[in-house]
Amino acid sequence: MALTSDEIERYARHLVLPEIGGPGQGRLKAARVLVIGAGGLGAPLIQYLAAAGIGTIGIVDDDTVSLSNLQRQIIHGTPDLGRPKVESAADAVARLNPNVTVVAHPIRIDAASAEALAAAYDVVADGSDNFATRYAVSDACYRARRPLVTAALGRFDGTLTTIRAHETGPDGDPNPTYRCLFPNPPPPGTVPPCAEAGVLGALAGVMGSLMAMEVIRAVTGFGEPLVGRLLMVDARAMRFETLGYAWDEANPLSGAVPSQA
């Protein structure tokens, strides 16, 4: 996709990177990326996707901006209190990069709506804060044959991986699904919500930025994505570790005896 003179100047630092260049920036401009959640992870993710020149960003969130959000959800500001997050985020994108189109989805995504939404985009990035949404989105991406970048936050830790379960790996085996990594959600009540446990605000920025890098990698094709690898970040020790995981033939999507495909 051709770039305008304004875009050539705006994305000049991308254009001089051989791994991206003009063709890669054109792919970013043509890309449609769905972001689940405009909160702690989604806020920096949306900003960096917009700055990178993603042509269309869909934002799914049914919440409004509250004062306690502003410690980490930096796409929103004090004047946005009480506004729908999708509207606040869309305005922030427009200020940052008017070349980007935002499609607002002011809904709470579930299994019934996830597949149609995923199919309408090229890449899905899930920054939701609950397990029900993560499983619904990951299952939908498998069925819609869409790559998924998914991350989660703890109090002082975060995780990130890329799921391309609709494809095979270099060894000829299917790539792992989200359910290969986490077969079942934890029992209710074992993982306290952010409002109870707390979260380091700057950590959300780190993880959201890493999500943006994985999305840009998925669109342009540079480097090695986190497929079959879980990146774990410990902010207390400033330690980054990677855990490998593989396709599990018992998984209900792409396993030997699929039960949810």
- Per the rule left: phi > 0, alpha: psi between -120 and 50, beta: everything else, 70 is alpha
| Tens of pLDDT, residues 85-144 | 999 999 999 999 999 999 999 999 998 899 999 999 999 999 998 999 999 999 999 999
Q: Give the pLDDT band of residue 186 (cuts 50, 70, 90).
A: confident
Residue 196 has pLDDT above 90, yes or no: no
CA 163/CA 161 separation, integer angstroms: 7
Query: Would you say residue 191 lies in a domain?
Result: yes
Query: Would you say residue 215 lies in a domain?
Result: yes
Range of the domain at 210: 13-244
Q: What's 46's domain CATH number? A: 3.40.50.720
Identify the pLDDT of residue 27.
98
How many domains does the chain contain in total?
1
Query: Would you say residue 39 lies in a domain?
Result: yes
Query: Would you say residue 7 lies in a domain?
Result: no
Query: Would you say residue 107 lies in a domain?
Result: yes
Give me the percent of the chain exceeding a pLDDT of 90.
87
Q: What is the pTM of this model?
A: 0.96
Query: Would you say residue 206 lies in a domain?
Result: yes
Residue 85: φ, ψ to 5°? -65, -35
Residue 2, judged by CB atoms within 10 A of its CB (0-12, 13-18, 19+), counts as exposed
Residue 232 has pLDDT above 60, yes or no: yes
Q: Give the pLDDT band of residue 259 (cuts 50, 70, 90).
A: confident
Residue 195 has pLDDT above 80, yes or no: no
Q: To the nearest whole number, what is the mean pLDDT of the chain?
A: 95
